[in-house]
Amino acid sequence: MNFDLSDEQKMLGEQARALLADLSPFDRLRQLIDSNADWDEPLWRALAEMGFLGAAIPEEHGGLGLGALDLGVIMEALGAANAAVPFMSSIILGAEAIRLAGSDAQKAAWLPRLASGEAVATFAYAEGPGPVFATGTKLEGGKLSGSKFPVADAGVADIAVVLVAGSDLALVDLDQPGVRRTKLDSFDQLRPHYRLDFDAATADPMPGRGKLDQLIDQAAVQAAFEAAGAAEACLFMARDYALERQIFGRSLAGFQAIKHKLADVAVATELARSNAYFGGWAAQSSPDDLPAAAAAARLSGIKCFEMAARENLQVHGGIGYTFEANCHFYYRRERMLAVHLGNRGFWASRLLAAQPGRQGQVA
């Protein structure tokens, strides 16, 4: 057993963090919100240039052919920076859906363009309030009808992988007359969501069936990496603020009420990261372990980031409620990440169903 990242993976994570520290400081996030931007396009171009977008896309399709753990260290860095880029939508979900379920022609057409950042994909699964993996959208004779919302990053996406009736997937070019995009009022101001209405839109069915579970399990692992990175950023932000802040004649960080709270956040973060590591390893090397590993990673990821985002703002006190402080980016992002890909209840059921002897028993 060697349960640690490789030196190359650690270096990859450091490169990603360095790039994000340089290009995506908090003032940049404020600027994006103030300008009502859909994304941080220059950052996306820089991520493409570094090869990060194509990290896990096969070499034959213009990527680097790396694995889930390599993607994971990039996701951890993106989570820590609270970056305003559609990496989850375009790479973790869009490109991976095409790799898993797409035809050779679909792969050849889109994977190289997604790897280079020239095109952006998103994954359209929810249909309004209720369970997020909804299948009320109909695909008949190559024409798609129905509505998907909210859909992350649909303002900048060229294509959407759409979850349709029968849990099938279809590839839809978003720049066509049969598709209407409406921007929604998004809780996470740095990840705008849209409503997509399809009126007999031309759609290209994806031939690989039954790939949805693997797709979302893999994405759940990546979401846990993202959550652990974000939680750790909140933890350090709270710690650093407390160290600096003087109160009652001493450092705020010296009070047990603060120390113990942050120790609990640190523990939750390490448990989530450990589950993410195992999930990444399972995704790469032990597919039978993936369903349970992904659900555990997802649940512990939600938990640690929830604790961290809330307590970070709390430790800051009143200043944390201001736009000038940086707590709010994470406080909003956390709720978005907690519900995308299915909420706690959804993943609790998947985790229990994945236990030995309880296969498929979902209440």
Binding to other proteins in span 89-108, by CB under 8 A = none
Which CA distances in Å does 156 have to 159, 160, 256? 9, 11, 46
Strands 159-164 and 193-205: unpaired
Partners of residue 169 on adjacent β-strands: 163
The Cα–Cα gap between 1 and 285 comes to 13
Residue of the chain from 259, 335, 336, 339 that contacts other proteins (CB under 8 A): 259
Site string for other proteins, 323-352 (x = CB under 8 A): ---------------------xx-xxx-xx
DSSP 319-335: GGGSSSSSHHHHHHHHH
Which CA distances in Å does 321 have to 15, 83, 149? 32, 20, 29
Could you tell me the smallest distance in angstroms from the CB atom of residue 88 to other proteins?
21
8 Å CB contact between 218 and 294? yes
36 or 256: whose CB is closer to other proteins?
256
4 part of the interface to other proteins, by CB under 8 A: yes
User: What are the CB-based long-range contacts (under 8 Å, 24+) for 343-349?
Assistant: 343/132, 343/302, 344/299, 344/302, 346/131, 346/132, 347/220, 347/295, 347/298, 347/299, 347/302, 348/295, 348/299
Residues that bind other proteins (rule: CB under 8 A) add up to a total of 55
Residue of the chain from 18, 21, 247, 267 that contacts other proteins (CB under 8 A): 267
Residue of the chain from 241, 277, 330, 331 that contacts other proteins (CB under 8 A): 277
User: Hey, what amino acid is at 333?
Assistant: R
262 part of the interface to other proteins, by CB under 8 A: yes
Residue of the chain from 195, 202, 270, 335 that contacts other proteins (CB under 8 A): 270
Nearest in space to 124 (alpha carbons), one of 156, 171, 79: 171
108 or 263: whose CB is closer to other proteins?
263
Per CB under 8 A, which region of 202-210, 279-287, 316-324, 331-339 contacts other proteins?
279-287
Could you tell me the smallest distance in angstroms from the CB atom of residue 343 to other proteins?
10
Residues making contact with other proteins (CB under 8 A): 1-6, 9, 69, 235, 239, 242-243, 250-251, 253-254, 256, 258-260, 262-264, 266-267, 270-272, 274-275, 277-278, 280-281, 285-286, 292-293, 295-297, 299-300, 303, 344-345, 347-349, 351-352, 355-356, 358, 363
